[in-house]
Amino acid sequence: MDEESLPAGMAVLWRRPDPPRRPGRRPTLSLERIAAAAIELADAEGLAGVSMARVAERLGVTSMALYRYVTSKDELLVLMADTAMAAPPDLAEVTGDWRERLEAWCRGQLALIAQHPWVVELTGLPPIGPNRVLWVEAGLAALEGTPLPHGTRVGVIGFLSLHVLTEGQLIAAYAAQRAGRPADHPAMADWPGLLGTVVDPERHPRLAEALAAGAFGTPEDDDPADEQELALTVLLDGIAALIARYASDG
């Protein structure tokens, strides 16, 4: 692979691993060690706790030594994100059909986000690293055997990826709140209290009825796991209907 042909920020993800260390030589830096040290900092303190200097200190080297492997903090963040999301599980071992496999695909990513919630703070065009490519491959493999054409399968994986990102952002917000860090997410607002001050039963009868029924819950009652269940069920039901339509047209 020609690293020079890759966009800026991606080349670090596809560099060949360092050659094995010879016996008796001092341990050298590697992209794997750098990523692991940076991830430990981010898990403990959030992205605000990550800097080139602090990662170098954690590894017992100078910042200049670190720059020989990653050229900037942006490149470090790219490396951290792909490493933290790891490789997907073997969905061939999942009992069931495409639905069970896609459910495991989504839950596997959400579980990793729960371990490393800072990942969803890295917005913008996602760098295409080895682990991300493996996740896309696994998602498409989960749909193998369905009547969906290739373009539709890619679309399905794209929609589910957006679901994972959205739910992951909520997971990250609750994780920040538990850690005592600022947490800002629309789902964490006091919707019953806010709506209760503006909803007029005559002008907004359906909203008033939903509020009276406790449908909006309270911030204390909210459980991200419940919302994940509902969202994933709705999405998978929609995919099932799409597959059934293609099968009937087949």
Q: What is the CATH number of the domain that holds 24?
A: 1.10.10.60
Q: What is the mean pLDDT of residues 17-21?
A: 54
Q: What is the chain's mean pLDDT, rounded?
A: 87
Return the pLDDT at 228: 73
Residue-wise pLDDT tens digits, 38-69: 999 999 999 999 999 999 999 999 999 999 99
User: Is residue 220 predicted with pLDDT exceeding 60?
Assistant: no
Residue-wise pLDDT tens digits, 85-97: 999 988 888 888 9
64 and 124 in a single domain? The answer is no
CATH of the domain at 117: 1.10.357.10
51 and 97 in a single domain? The answer is no
Residue-wise pLDDT tens digits, 123-161: 776 678 999 999 999 999 999 999 999 999 999 999 999
Which among 68, 84, 100 is the end of a domain? 84
| Containing structural domain, residue 24 | 3-84
Distance CA(28)–CA(22), nearest Å, equals 11
DSSP state of 99: H
Q: What is the mean pLDDT of residues 177-181?
A: 83
Which among 36, 60, 84 is the end of a domain? 84
Q: How many domains is the chain built from?
A: 2
80 and 167 in a single domain? The answer is no
Tell me the angle at which helices 130-142 and 98-115 cross, rounded to the nearest 10 degrees: 150
Q: In a 3-state reduction of DSSP, which class is residue 215?
A: coil
Return the pLDDT at 219: 55
78 and 113 in a single domain? The answer is no
124 and 245 in a single domain? The answer is yes
Count of beta carbons in the 10 Å neighbourhood of residue 95: 7
In a domain, 200, yes or no: no
In a domain, 214, yes or no: no
54 and 115 in a single domain? The answer is no
78 and 96 in a single domain? The answer is no
Which among 63, 84, 105 is the end of a domain? 84
- For 113, residues 6+ apart whose C-beta sits below 8 A from its C-beta are 119, 120, 164, 168, 171, 172
Return the pLDDT at 95: 84
Predicted TM-score of the model (pTM) = 0.85
